Amino acid sequence: MKLDVHAHYLPELYRDALRAAGHDQPDGFPYVPEWSAAEHVQVMDRLEIATSYLSVSSPGVLGDADLARAVNEEGRRAVVDHPGRFGLLASLPLPDVDAAMAEIAHAGERLDADGFVLLTNVDGTYVGDASFTPVLRELDRRRARVLLHPTSPACWERTSLGRPRPMLEFLFDTTRAIVDLLLDGTIAALPDLELIVPHAGAVLPMVADRIQAFASLLAPDVDVLGDLGRLHYDLAGYAVPRQLDALLTLAPRDHLHYGSDYPFTPEPVVSAAAQRIDFHAELGANTERLFSRGRP
């Protein structure tokens, strides 16, 4: 049975908020998926997933503290109503740092969240920006598990060429965000933050050596390959047969985790992708260790 670190939930109040804000086709995705906890459990049973750690996908909670609180409460309700089947990665209402700090405390202490989810950028401000440093330091202090989730870059109108941003832009934005965190020394400065990089590391495995070479000029004190090697990586999407081989030159096997990306990835596609991976028991053991330390 699999443990899924990259699974999404869209309660009705969140779907309504997306449509009201003009996100009826989020990031170029053709529609806002329907979702219910009960149906998600049925899908998990068919896909042999024991537990899914629920998070909100892009475009996140739109910087709205009330929406973040409501969505996190809905996530907690799913956890309580389906014991053992769900965990919660709580959302934070960035760029409002004060509200985000309050939500970290509420989610960690009142909702028993298993971790948190952060977008690669919020309205063009990347997660490594100095203005977000208090949030990252607090997550590090709590030894939190954090799923970094991609979103559309600020320039997507010119770079996506009219195609859905999850196809390419999400991978490049993940890479851009991680490289920024690397070169400004943030990853090295937050040794207790357990950061999960999605989609088998995005483009990082292919460009890591190039980034290391540039780092010798831009940030000579940064150990790019060492820092990348201590991060965690989920395998959501089609990591096999090509991307996984590259990732394994960068990250140890015990830092890899299963991810479905359901419901944005339809069940038949999730099933086909999972069948390409032949070490699910190992991935599950990795995830069990990662989440066994208790609440952040």
pLDDT in tens, 132-174: 999 999 999 999 999 999 999 999 999 999 999 999 999 999 9
* DSSP assigned state of 34: P
Is residue 112 over pLDDT 80? yes
> pLDDT band for position 1 (50/70/90)?
confident
What value does the mean pLDDT of the chain take? 97
Structure tokens at 85: 């089947």
Which tokens hold the place of 1?
A: 């049975």
Give 27-68 pLDDT, tens digit per residue.
999 999 999 999 999 999 999 999 999 999 999 999 999 999
Mean pLDDT of 98-118: 98
CA distance 292 to 279: 20
Superfamily holding 2-290: Metal-dependent hydrolases (3.20.20.140)
Rounded to 10°, the helix 204-218/169-183 angle is 30
- 279 token code pair: 């070490």
CA 64/CA 111 separation, integer angstroms: 18
The closest of 49, 8, 26, 59 to 263, measured between CA atoms, is 8
Mean pLDDT of 90-98: 98
Strand partners, 258: 4
pLDDT (0 to 100) of residue 50: 98
Token readout for 37 is 């906890």
Residue 296 has pLDDT above 90, yes or no: no
Alpha carbon distance 90, 112 (integer Å):
10
Which DSSP category does 1 fall into? Answer: -
- C-beta neighbour count of 245 within 10 angstroms: 11
Instruction: Give domain limits for the chain.
Output: 2-290
Q: How far lies 73's CA from each of 88, 133, 240, 265, in Å?
A: 10, 25, 36, 24
Does the structure show a pLDDT above 90 at 293? no
Report the C-alpha dihedral over residues 234, 145, 15, 81, rounded to 10 degrees. 100
As a whole number, mean pLDDT of residues 72-85 equals 98
Residue 224: which residues within 8 A CB-CB, separation 6 or more?
182, 183, 208, 211, 212, 215
pLDDT tens-digit profile of 170-216? 999 999 999 999 999 999 999 999 999 999 999 999 999 999 999 99
pLDDT at 289 over 80: yes
Please write the tens of the pLDDT for every residue from 230-259: 999 999 999 999 999 999 999 999 999 999
3-state SS record for 143-205: CCEEEEECCCCCCHHHHCCCCCCCCCHHHHHHHHHHHHHHHCCHHHHCCCCEEEECHHHCCHH
Nearest to 19 by CA among 37, 31, 7, 36: 31
Percent of the chain with pLDDT strictly greater than 90: 98
pLDDT at 294: 75
